[in-house]
Amino acid sequence: MYKTAMLAKDLVAASSKPLVLSILADGESYGYEIIQKVRELSGGHIEWSDGMLYPVLHRLERAGLIESEWKEADTGRERKYYFLSSDGRKALKTERQQWLAVHNTLSRLWKIKPVMI
Amino acid sequence: MAGRSQHVEPIMENQTRYDLNAAIESWRQELAAQAGFTAEVRRELEMHLRDAIAGFQQRGLNDEESFWLAHRRVGQPKQLAEEFMKANSAAVWRERILWITVGTVGYYELTTGHGILSNLLDPFGRHTGAWLDLGLFLIPCLTLIGLTLMIRCSHVPRPLSYFGRTPGSPGFLASVLSVVLLVTVLFAYFSAEKIGRSANDMFSIGAMIVMEQTWLFSAAWPAMMISIVFLMPREPTQNRKAPKHA
């Protein structure tokens, strides 16, 4: 039985930054929601372990790319929301160009239509 | 037979009723026992666990199944702690150092408070430096209250971290504090030497060191605070680790 392989470990690590930044570019979000979104959008191919996301978020926060704020959620408890900083927006732009460059190179090799960067 | 099992079911359920709050509480305690987490991270992870449980409950799982799956997914506290220590050791050290500072300043306040109060209330007003002493007492006192509140609410002010542009690490910070201590002790030793031969035995030197501690607590605590704030390690924007296999 053939099943599409899950993303390799180093690819998961490398793609976590552009994924988090892109999700937050759509608006503020919190850890659990980010993981759900990635699972949903990747069709289950990218499965982040929940514990791994938070070190990534905290690293991005210390690098000044995202910011956070404790806010009351609808359940009445406080939740830590993350949002993109202006540095983060710039970093996302660079990430996007780099990932698309890789994507286009592979697309040409595999004879798939490249996309505009 | 079917009727009988229906009759038994509610009793069975009552006997094995699952206490979700107790399960979360014990998970929390397990998490708190690990050294790698700051209070804020623990709060964040707990909220994540609760969200995950709610997610499974919405899909029709019962409390026990939801908790089991959610806590499997979040990860074992021990493994989690290792992950966090790797990625976040600076934050953990920052909180530890803040607590050490609270302890140090608190000790200073307790030991000097009485003397300062009696100097101030001295009816003969012989102690001219009393107001300076009071200042040296009040400023650390307010800092102590502020620091404790900060740690209790697990809000280490973020704007402060932007000042930490000097490349520093928890190890560097620890070295600075050790140097401060070493200099104080050496200073105490040599000033004891200067005073006279009488201070040459270990007992007198010990007494001098105790005296110099007063100097340490009144003069070095702002230095400690400043080091903590300014040397807060800040992650460089560029990832330091280059991929090994490019």
Q: What residues in chain A have their Cβ under 8 A from chain B's Cβ atoms?
A: 10, 14, 30-33, 36, 49-52, 54-56, 58-59, 62-65, 67, 70, 73, 75, 77-80, 87, 91
> pLDDT by residue (tens digit) across B23-73?
888 888 888 887 777 788 888 888 999 999 998 999 999 888 899 988 888
**What pLDDT does residue B100 have?**
74
Cβ neighbours around B196 below 10 Å, total: 9
Residue B89 has pLDDT above 50, yes or no: yes
What are the chain A neighbours of B74 within 8 Å (beta carbons)?
Answer: 50-51
B205 and B132 within one domain: yes
Residue B24 is assigned to a structural domain of this protein: yes
Alpha-carbon B93 to chain mean position: 7
Domain boundaries, position A30: 9-85
**What pLDDT does residue A7 have?**
78
Residue A97 is assigned to a structural domain of this protein: no
If you average pLDDT over each of A25-34, B88-97, B130-139, which comes out highest?
Answer: A25-34
> pLDDT by residue (tens digit) across A50-86?
878 888 898 898 888 999 988 887 777 889 999 999 9
The count of domains in chain B is: 2
Where residue A102 falls among pLDDT bands split at 50, 70, 90?
very high
Residue B109 has pLDDT above 60, yes or no: yes
Give me chain B's average pLDDT, please. Answer: 66
Q: Which amino acid is at B35?
A: A
Residue B63 is assigned to a structural domain of this protein: yes
**What pLDDT does residue B219 have?**
59
Residue A115 is assigned to a structural domain of this protein: no
Enter the DSSP assignment of A67. Answer: E
For a pLDDT cut of 70, what percent of chain A falls above it? 94
* DSSP per-residue letters across chain B: -HHHHHHHHHHHHHHT---HHHHHHHHHHHHHTSTT--HHHHHHHHHHHHHHHHHHHHTT--HHHHHHHHHHHH--HHHHHHHHHHHHHHHHHHHHHHHHHHHHHHHHHHHHHHHHHHHHT-TT---TTHHHHHHHHHHHHHHHHHHHHHHHTT---HHHHTT--S---HHHHHHHHHHHHHHHHHHHHHHHHHH-GGGGSHHHHHHHHHHHHHHIIIIIHHHHHHHHHHT-----SS-SS--S--
B71 and B92 within one domain: no
Residue A1 is assigned to a structural domain of this protein: no
Section A11-27 average pLDDT? 92
Residue B89 is assigned to a structural domain of this protein: yes
Q: Read off φ and ψ for residue B127, nearest 5 degrees.
A: -95, 95
B95 and B64 within one domain: no
**What pLDDT does residue A1 have?**
40
Give me chain A's average pLDDT, please. Answer: 86
B85 and B59 within one domain: no
What are the chain B neighbours of A50 within 8 Å (beta carbons)?
Answer: 48, 52, 73-75
Residue whose C-alpha is closest to residue B90's, from B243, B241, B223, B236: B236
Residue B69 is assigned to a structural domain of this protein: yes
Domain boundaries, position B26: 16-75
Where residue A30 falls among pLDDT bands split at 50, 70, 90?
very high
B64 and B110 within one domain: no
B118 and B208 within one domain: yes
Section B220-240 average pLDDT? 52
Rounded (10°) angle between helices B77-120 and B20-32: 70
Cα–Cα dist B159/B98, whole Å: 16
Residue A74 is assigned to a structural domain of this protein: yes
For a pLDDT cut of 90, what percent of chain B falls above it? 3
Residue A22 has pLDDT above 50, yes or no: yes
Residue whose C-alpha is closest to residue B209's, from B184, B232, B180: B184
**What pLDDT does residue A17 have?**
92
**What pLDDT does residue A77 have?**
81
B143 and B57 within one domain: no
Range name among A6-15, A84-93, B159-168 with the lowest pLDDT average:
B159-168
Residue A103 has pLDDT above 50, yes or no: yes
Of B166 and B196, the one with more pLDDT: B196
Q: Which amino acid is at B7?
A: H
If you average pLDDT over each of A7-16, A86-95, A105-114, B96-105, which comes out highest?
Answer: A86-95
Cα–Cα dist A68/A72, whole Å: 13
B103 and B31 within one domain: no
Residue B207 is assigned to a structural domain of this protein: yes
What are the chain A neighbours of B75 within 8 Å (beta carbons)?
Answer: 49-51
B107 and B210 within one domain: yes
B129 and B62 within one domain: no
B153 and B110 within one domain: yes
**What pLDDT does residue A97 have?**
94
B214 and B158 within one domain: yes
The count of domains in chain A is: 1
Residue A99 is assigned to a structural domain of this protein: no
Residue A4 is assigned to a structural domain of this protein: no
Residue A78 is assigned to a structural domain of this protein: yes
Residue A41 has pLDDT above 50, yes or no: yes
Q: Give the residue on B whose Cα is nearest the Cα of A30.
A: B48
Residues 6+ apart with CB under 8 A from A63: A87, B235, B236, B237
CATH number for the domain including A18?
Answer: 1.10.10.10
Residue A96 has pLDDT above 80, yes or no: yes
